[in-house]
């Protein structure tokens, strides 16, 4: 990765990156999706093609909230718009329990599967739905399957233009993203003035860049994940409600979709509790607000002085 002290390497769709080592904290995020929201099965994620399928979130969300209440932790729930439309009461319960509600788009489609204008409209609709339900601003976004992939994706600039305080879509991992993505919080600024904070999920395993979420996390020894979280000033783990229960899969998956869904799932809820034990977890919105107060270039803020950090000109590699 080449280092730079100017914006000369930026383009309309490639922001300047300023790492923010002072933005610290540990967080748990929950991607609020049904078991069938897998991009590996397009006919499941597209409502117009979806066959009748068992839906579990009406039961799983209260179970997840009860588990978190027992553990005394608060998390950030990235909620799909179509889930919020179907279960507004459950989404309201998430907010009332003291957790952050953030936006996961409307449908669980990969970002690049839609034109930029359609992507923007879907995100706007999803955020409006969530804000109407919980009665407060929704300031965070994550694309389904981390599918913004890299910093040059024009849809990332769309999220900044829509005024979100932070994005959490860029994984510094091959396959799920790019090794060139930031591994720690970073302020992103585009030439025309759009800006946003990137709060990336934790990766572990050195150069392998394994995500601290999904099957890579479930199959890892919990001590490895805990060590990675403790060893980073900022650590964000990712989980889904269906991962926290050992009930059998309620529908048919085959091939990669079944592997990604089922590998390491049995007992993961209990193992995750061991990973999280004694970690002080906070909603991402609180971490973003602290970064704003520290002078990071975030929406609706004019920093009084340059934020601490290192300007970077990222060498971007499109993967996925």
Mean pLDDT of 251-280: 94
| Structure confidence by residue, pLDDT tens digits, 54-98 | 999 999 999 999 999 999 999 999 999 999 999 999 999 999 999
What is d(CA 59, CA 49) in angstroms, rounded to the nearest whole number?
24
Q: Looking at the domain assignment, is residue 98 inside a domain?
A: yes
What is d(CA 161, CA 164) in angstroms, rounded to the nearest whole number?
8
Q: Looking at the domain assignment, is residue 318 inside a domain?
A: no
Q: Looking at the domain assignment, is residue 59 inside a domain?
A: yes
Domains in the chain, number: 1
- The DSSP output letter for 50 is P
Asked if 221 contacts 270 with a C-beta cutoff of 8 angstroms, the reply is: no
Q: Looking at the domain assignment, is residue 319 inside a domain?
A: no
Distance of CA 62 to the CA centre of its chain: 21
What is d(CA 68, CA 246) in angstroms, rounded to the nearest whole number?
17
Where does 2-149 have alpha helices with state H? 42-45, 57-71, 81-86, 88-96, 116-134
Whole-model pTM: value is: 0.88
Q: Looking at the domain assignment, is residue 284 inside a domain?
A: yes
Q: What percent of the chain has pLDDT over 70?
A: 88
Residue 11's pLDDT is 53
Q: Looking at the domain assignment, is residue 21 inside a domain?
A: yes
Judge whether residue 252 has pLDDT over 60. yes
| Structure confidence by residue, pLDDT tens digits, 195-221 | 999 999 999 998 889 999 999 999 999
Q: Looking at the domain assignment, is residue 295 inside a domain?
A: yes
Would you call 154 exposed, middle or buried from its count of C-beta atoms within 10 A (0-12, 13-18, 19+)? middle
Asked if 272 contacts 251 with a C-beta cutoff of 8 angstroms, the reply is: no
| Structure confidence by residue, pLDDT tens digits, 128-151 | 999 999 999 999 999 999 999 999
Judge whether residue 306 has pLDDT over 60. no
Domain residues for the domain of 250 are 2-313
Looking at residue 173, which CATH number applies to its domain? 3.20.20.370
Q: Looking at the domain assignment, is residue 65 inside a domain?
A: yes
């Amino acid at each position: 990765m080449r280092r730079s002290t100017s914006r000369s390497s930026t383009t309309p769709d490639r922001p300047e990156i300023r790492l923010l080592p002072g933005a610290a904290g540990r967080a748990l995020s929950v991607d609020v999706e049904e078991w069938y929201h897998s991009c590996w099965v397009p006919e499941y994620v597209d409502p117009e093609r979806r066959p009748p399928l068992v839906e579990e979130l009406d039961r799983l969300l209260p179970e997840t909230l009860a588990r978190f209440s027992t553990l005394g932790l608060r998390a950030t729930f990235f909620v799909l718009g179509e889930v919020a439309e179907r279960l507004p009461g459950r989404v309201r319960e998430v907010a009332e329990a003291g957790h952050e509600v953030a936006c996961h788009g409307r449908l669980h489609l990969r970002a690049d599967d839609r034109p930029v204008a359609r992507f923007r409209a879907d995100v706007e609709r999803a955020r409006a739905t969530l804000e109407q339900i919980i009665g407060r601003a929704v300031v965070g976004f994550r694309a389904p399957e981390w599918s913004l992939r890299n910093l040059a994706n024009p849809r990332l600039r769309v999220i900044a233009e829509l005024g979100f305080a932070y994005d959490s879509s860029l994984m510094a991992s091959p396959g799920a993203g790019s090794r060139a993505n930031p591994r720690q919080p970073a302020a992103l600024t585009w030439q025309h003035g759009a800006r946003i904070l990137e709060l990336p999920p934790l990766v572990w395993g050195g150069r392998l860049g394994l995500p601290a979420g999904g099957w890579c996390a479930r199959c890892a020894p919990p001590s490895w994940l805990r060590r990675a979280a403790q060893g980073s000033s900022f650590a964000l783990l990712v989980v889904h409600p269906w991962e926290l229960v050992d009930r059998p899969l309620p529908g048919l998956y085959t091939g990669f979709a079944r592997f990604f869904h089922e590998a390491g799932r049995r007992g993961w809820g209990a193992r995750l509790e061991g990973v999280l034990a004694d970690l002080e977890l906070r909603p991402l919105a609180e971490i973003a607000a602290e970064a704003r107060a520290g002078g990071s270039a975030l929406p609706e803020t004019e920093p009084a002085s340059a934020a601490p950090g290192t300007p970077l000109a990222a060498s971007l590699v499109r993967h996925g």
